[in-house]
A and B are shown apart, each in its own frame.
Chain A
Amino acid sequence: MGVKRQTDKGSEALLRLEDISLSFGGVTALKDLSLEIGGQGIFAVIGPNGAGKTSIFNVINGFYRSWKGRILFDGVDITQLKSAKIARLGVARTFQNIELYTGLTTVENLMAARHMLFKDTILEGAFYFGRTLKQEVIHRKVVEEIIDFLEMEDIRKVEVGLIPYGLRKRVELGRALAMEPKLLLLDEPMAGMNMEEKEDMARFVVDISEEKKIPVLLVEHEMDVVMDIADRVIALDFGRKIAEGPPEKIKTNEEVIKAYLGDEL
């Protein structure tokens, strides 16, 4: 893949952010942020609006560049890598505002996510023979397993533009899974959903972590969901990490309460 794997002993973490800082003009989005994500579990980033939650994702993803510090993923320094390359290393994500091909069906959206795993040539692809044909079968099988996992059989061949919002979020999650990631980043997976859809989604996230053993880093506003499913919570305020720990501890942390409710007058 053309990426040099640094031997970084002493770090068990799958993802490590060291002193990451990001600002837009005079606005500081992230300030000297360091955090570690282990090899398993659900990690949640919480914080009030504008605390820098989505910025973390964008930095990890390579959409934004931190001007100091470094990011290590699976022992590789990804600080300066392009988004596509980071994705190839095994970081998949979903977006706060769904980003799917609305004109394609669920299956096609998921298959598109696997294009980077296809091993064939343009010629074979254009005429649909040789390796393309075989690969299509292999990848379709993986995609079908994801459809089964996320219970999307009934929308398998429905255009994504026609399905309801809550289900589209599920398709997006499916697309992220189709990349066979080592780490899954979920940006507000429950936003705009009704109660039942939230419960479904929460169950899928837990299943991904426990059954598929893929660590999940999620940003979420739904506090009860976060406290319910997360193993570890990271609280941000104005781009700074103000607390980190298991949900029970975060709930009672004074700084967190202050950040959400404001200072007493």
Chain B
Amino acid sequence: MFSDTLPKLLLEKYQEYGDKKVAMRRKDYGIWIEYTWKDYYEYTKYFSLGLIKMGLAVGDKVAILGENDPEWYWSALAAQCAKATCVGVFADSTPPEVEYIVRNSDTVFVVAEDQEQVDKILEIKDAVSRLKGVIYWDPKGMYSYQKDPFVIDFYHVVALGREYEKECRGFFEKNIEEGSPDDIGVICYTSGTTGSKPKGAMGSQKYLVAAGESWCAVDDWSSKDDYLSYLSPAWATEWELGLSSGLRSGATVCFPEKPETVQTDIREIGPKVVFYSARMWESLNSTIHARIANTIAPFRSIFHICLRIAFKVIDAQFQKKPVGILWRGLYKMSDLVLFRYLRDRIGLSNIKWAYTAGAGISPDILRFFHAIGVNLKQIYGLTEALMNSVHRDGDIKPESCGIALPGNEFKISGTGELLVKPPACFSGYYKDPENTKKQFDDEGWIKTGDAAYITSDKHVVILGRMKELVDLEDGNRFSPEFLETRLRFSPYIKDIMAFGEKGRGFVIGIVVIDYDNVGKWAEDNGINYTTFVDLSQKAQVSDLVLKEVARVNSVLPDWSRIKRYVVLHKEFDADEAELTRTRKLRRAFMVQKYHDLIDAMYTDAEEVAVEVPVTYRDGRKGLSKSVIKIREVSGV
């Protein structure tokens, strides 16, 4: 029988493997450092005891602020072992965002990665009176804080716990044993695309354990697998994969050195399981295409020939049609000649399951990765309801999110909204019963807020957020997201916001170019530019974008084609609240922020002067002024 809380699972794995098996691996000083299950257990144990010694009480909250590291995992489980609750905070949150979460969750200790994160806490500490201290795990740059009793070294707490254990032998084990599936293990703050302030979704131990259970039931993770921990643990998904599924299966969790070094680190690990956000797959796709475009002509031809063969085979497989032996042979050859090297280049040569969720991925991208031999599967899930559906091996529909996981039920409401009934769901929003109630319908189904339909073979296809579906003139419904994900397939387009509304006649687009790829393209084509602003307003760049827009337009019905567009002079930025921390568009905010621009695009103007307030990383504000050219797509 499997244990019913994560701490019990940890204890179980520790008893099973001890120091005979590696549980975690992290890159530090250029070397992979290994931690066995004994290390995993002991760090968690002593940190937990240390926290208790420092005054952590049952039911308290411990917030963790930092990038993925073993200490993140240890602290999170340590809090749970002490019958406290863990609150994850995104590492790139600004001080006001951190303050909101720390205050709202009644956090008493913050575990922060390094000096940068500690500074955020010190900045807000006077405003949050409950806070007892901040604990850091990366000592770099902390020399000047050593005299501040509020700031404590992670390993000092571990040592404290080790001392404390001598006084209270068996206390920790008793704590684990007393843990119940109803204990709130985690509070995940939803990114807040919908409302203004994020809401803290509480997850019980039952919720956390169920996540790993249904996961391992679909894809049979084993203790021999390597998982790359790259998603922020502030997001429920990392809890479900790295923590819950990791603890259940005994797989080794690998932590890259820095977010910037993932592409080199992943090659060294060769993981079997990887989860990137849709944006990351998109950027990987862009990089591959841009690199191919830069190579010599014969190589380019080989790539295109191989890809054509692969698409032929993959498309047949997707439609479950038989593939002729000739094509199968050719595909095998393409793999030998090209694709296996390509997979190796991107660190996916051992990949068994690659996943994505979050913002919808373009079907083109899913198809592309399958073509080059990466088993990329789309997941549908909510923080409130865990993972609900996933593609099964051999049953991939590029436009869908797979079929329901065991124990999950789907239903489409009268308004076209997707409703779900999972085996375990969240325990409500922290201190917010009103919104909790709103999340459920009368029969206890969880409202997802997504418009969707279910195909005859039970695949779930998401159309977009309910709120964002736009009714156009003649009763047609247009989904901006649908357009956007398809346009982002282009290596030259990093972001796009499509817009249309009743009474406006047609759809427009605000495009953000991919600076690296377009910059490289400009250099290769002898176009001089100085800055992002300059590059974005070049006529040739606009032509480049036009081609991409026309390509996507050609597969869309008349009424949802982009008629006019601009190439924006800046990137969309999470620091300016244009995107959420998981890089989803905050549409309502954007429509308001760029209303002048949008209005101008519905006139005959050929260019428009924009003044956009910008917020710098350190909180300073400024105005960015530019003249932006408006382009019309002919034939729409």
Contact = CB atoms under 8 A, between A and B. Distances in A.
A144 B31 CA distance: 9
A157 B264 contact: yes
Given A207-B141, A211-B141, A145 B260 contact: no
Interface residues of A, number: 16
B261 interface: yes
A153 B258 contact: yes
B30 interface: yes
B143 interface: yes
A148 B140 contact: yes
A140 B31 CA distance: 11
Contacts of B260: 153-154
A145 B144 CA distance: 19
A148 B143 contact: no
B141 to A, nearest CB: 6
A151 B259 CA distance: 12
Interface in A144-172: 144-145, 147-149, 151, 153-154, 156-157
B30 A156 contact: yes
B2 interface: no
Given A154-B258, A154-B261, A141 B143 contact: no
A207 B141 CA distance: 7
Interface in B123-143: 140-141, 143
A210 interface: yes
Contact of B143 (A140, A147, A210): A210
Contacts, number: 31
B480 to A, nearest CB: 33
Contact of A141 (B29, B257, B261, B264): B29
A147 B31 CA distance: 12
B311 to A, nearest CB: 34
Contacts of A157: 264
A153 B144 contact: no
Nearest to B31: A144
A147 B261 CA distance: 13
A156 B264 CA distance: 10
A147 B258 contact: no
Interface residues of B, number: 13
A147 B260 CA distance: 14
A interface SS class:
helix
Q: Which of A141, A149, A154, A157 has most chain B Cβ within 10 Å? A: A154
A157 B267 CA distance: 14
Contacts of A207: 141
B523 to A, nearest CB: 14
A156 B143 CA distance: 25
Interface in A191-226: 207, 210-211
A145 B139 CA distance: 13
A157 B140 CA distance: 22
A210 B30 contact: no
Interface string A103-118: 0000100000000000
Contacts of A147: 29-30
Q: Which of A140, A153, A157, A211 has most chain B Cβ within 10 Å? A: A153
Nearest to B262: A154
A151 B140 CA distance: 11
Contacts of B28: 148
Nearest to A141: B29
A179 to B, nearest CB: 19
Interface string B236-276: 00000000000000000000011011001000000000000
Contacts of A153: 30, 257-258, 260-261
12 contacts: A107-B30, A145-B29, A147-B30, A148-B140, A149-B140, A151-B258, A153-B257, A153-B260, A156-B261, A210-B143, A210-B144, A211-B143
Interface of B: 28-31, 140-141, 143-144, 257-258, 260-261, 264
A-B CB proximity, top 5 nearest: A144-B29, A154-B260, A211-B143, A144-B30, A154-B261
Given A144-B29, A153-B257, A210-B143, 11 more contacts: A140-B30, A141-B29, A144-B30, A144-B31, A145-B29, A147-B30, A149-B140, A153-B258, A154-B258, A210-B144, A211-B141
